Structure 1
Amino acid sequence: MPSARLMIALPLAATPLAVGAWLWLVLLSPWTYDRPEHLAPVAPGSHALFVYGTLRHAPVRWLVYGRTGDPEEAVLPGYRREELDLEPDPDGRVEGLLLRVDAGELTRLDRYERLGIRYERVRVTLADGRNAWTYRRLD
């Protein structure tokens, strides 16, 4: 019969492996996301992206597109945050970050957000007048 210490150590040792496998499936695996054919390809060059959820956290950005970047604080007026989405609200405002990413990084972010399946990427105007992409949930 295994000792109590071994019975505790085995699940703890397996946890990093399980987390790593989940991250690989979500972020890199060719089996978990196929970009829908109806979506236009990502344009080359630099892109501004307003983020308001998990991508506000530097470790998540590093895992998703390979760097933390130099985010700027930003505000999106005319919306409120509703769980994992943005809902129009004339009196609302959502605080988040503005990221500058290249086409390859935006493609990896699209994969993370499951563009065309779970989210759509739309243009918004921030409080300071700059335009940026952001992700909104699909129905």
Structure 2
Amino acid sequence: MIKLFTYGTLQHEDIQENLFGRMLQGTPEILIGYALKKIKIEEEFGIVAYDILVETGNPEDTINGIIYEITTKELHQADLYEGFHYKRVEVNLQTNEKAWAYSAAS
């Protein structure tokens, strides 16, 4: 199984059900050295602001999130869902575990 750190819409039950066909069981986790910024994305119904990870390298910057274990297929589905505004990056969590997360694409 693959570990995925989430901090936004991938934690929503309706998104998980639509994207993965199931509800994910997760564990709270903390990401260190990143901050959340807002990004505006044009959706079919207008401009929407979403959170996006930005690496700061500052150990005082932390983000609370949830880590899930997902399959390779589900990871690819999450890649498609996040789109071109986000890129998947490997991050180190407070527990020294490694996981994938979605960060700013540029």
Instruction: Tell me the TM-score normalised to structure 2 length.
Output: 0.81
Give the conservation status (yes or no) of the 8 Å contact 2:54–2:104.
no
Structure 2: unaligned runs, 5 residues or longer: 39-50
Distance 1:113 1:86 in 2: 12
| Structure-to-structure mapping, 1:113-128, within 5 angstroms | 113-114=82-83, 117-128=84-95
String of CA shifts for 1:76-130, please: whole Å, max 9, x gaps.
011111122112231210011101000111111111011xx22111100000110
Counterpart in 1 of 2:18? 63
| Structure-to-structure mapping, 1:21-100, within 5 angstroms | 46-83=1-38, 84-89=51-56, 90=58, 91-100=60-69
Distance 2:105 2:54 in 1: 12
Distance 1:85 1:105 in 2: 20
Structure 1: unaligned runs, 5 residues or longer: 1-45
1:136 aligns with 2:103: yes
Identical pairs, percent: 29
Larger Rg: 1
Q: Where is the helix percentage greater, Structure 1 or Structure 2?
A: 1
String of CA shifts for 1:26-47, please: whole Å, max 9, x gaps.
xxxxxxxxxxxxxxxxxxxx21
One-letter code aligned to 1:107: H
Distance 1:87 1:107 in 2: 22
4+ residue runs over 4 A deviation: none
